[in-house]
Amino acid sequence: MDRGFLSMGVPSHAAAKVANAESAEGLSDAQIMLRVKGGDDSAFEYLVQKYRRPMLSFMYRMAHNSAVAEDLAQEVFLRVYRSREKYEASAKFTTWLYRIASNLAVNHARDTRHQRPENTVSLDEPDQESGLTMDLPDNSPTAEEAIVRRERLAAIRQRVEALPERQKMALIMHKYQQMDYRQIAEVLKLSESAIKSLLFRAYETLRVQLKEFV
């Protein structure tokens, strides 16, 4: 399996092959992963296509470096592929996928703790770091507004990065991956009440530290 598959994208004919006979839309991700286990590489390519963007987004939120995020996302899918023969559909595919991603992200954070993260912020990204919206009249901010926004996003990123590891992981899954308490609990192997507590503390910390930007 070529390590460059993530950046290359997925051929449309490969995704279409999965849809033959039984539509892929009628199959769960676990069922499609069982096809991967059975040797259907086109089923794997379908899953890569489906989860490529969520994985890149998750890893970028964790690493704050686009090149590193792409490498980590590729490594997630490589580990999925290499582990295909051991896969059991006892849990949701996304739970298994995010456990692999979470372990990689934590290990990367531990290994690069003293490295300076990438500081660039794309103005094309939605301004949703804290769930707040900017009162801008259109999509063309003035130079001053752009500077304020960059400062705001940088401050939010810094505060999120400073959160305890589990709080940060839970917050990213909840806010940016749209995962509910139960899904996050399954990924992190914690109770739902523990996840609620982690998220409450994380959001409260950010609310207090970022109130000057509200």
Give the per-residue pLDDT at 17. Answer: 52
74/159 same-domain check: no
Q: Residue 173's domain is classified under what CATH number?
A: 1.10.10.10
Any idea which of 23-37, 148-162, 169-183, 197-211 has the lowest mean pLDDT?
Answer: 148-162
95 in the same domain as 45: yes
Mean pLDDT of 88-100: 90
Burial label, 196 (beta-carbon count in 10 A; 0-12, 13-18, 19+) = middle
Structural domain contains residue 117: no
Residue 179 lies in a domain: yes
Name residue, tokens 């040797």.
39
Q: Which domain holds residue 96?
A: 1-112
Are 75 and 24 members of one domain? yes
Whichever domain contains 11, its CATH number is: 1.10.1740.10
Structural domains of the chain, count: 2
22 lies in some domain:
yes
Q: Work out the average pLDDT over 5-19.
A: 49
Q: Is 166 exposed, middle or buried (0-12, 13-18, 19+ CB in 10 A)?
A: middle
Q: Are residues 201 and 167 in contact, defined by beta-carbon separation less than 8 angstroms?
A: yes
Residue 54 falls inside a structural domain: yes
Residues 103 and 150 in one domain: no
Position 200 pLDDT exceeds 80: yes
Q: What is the pTM of this model?
A: 0.71
Pairwise CA distance, residues 38 & 104, whole Å: 26
Report the alpha-carbon distance of residue 115 to residue 105 in Å, rounded.
15
Pick from 66, 95, 112: which residue ends a domain? 112
Structural domain contains residue 120: no
pLDDT digits 0-9 by tens, 41-82: 999 999 999 999 999 999 998 888 899 999 999 999 999 999
What is residue 19's predicted lDDT score, i.e. its pLDDT? 47
Residues 9 and 65 in one domain: yes
Q: Is the model's pLDDT at 192 over the cut of 80?
A: yes
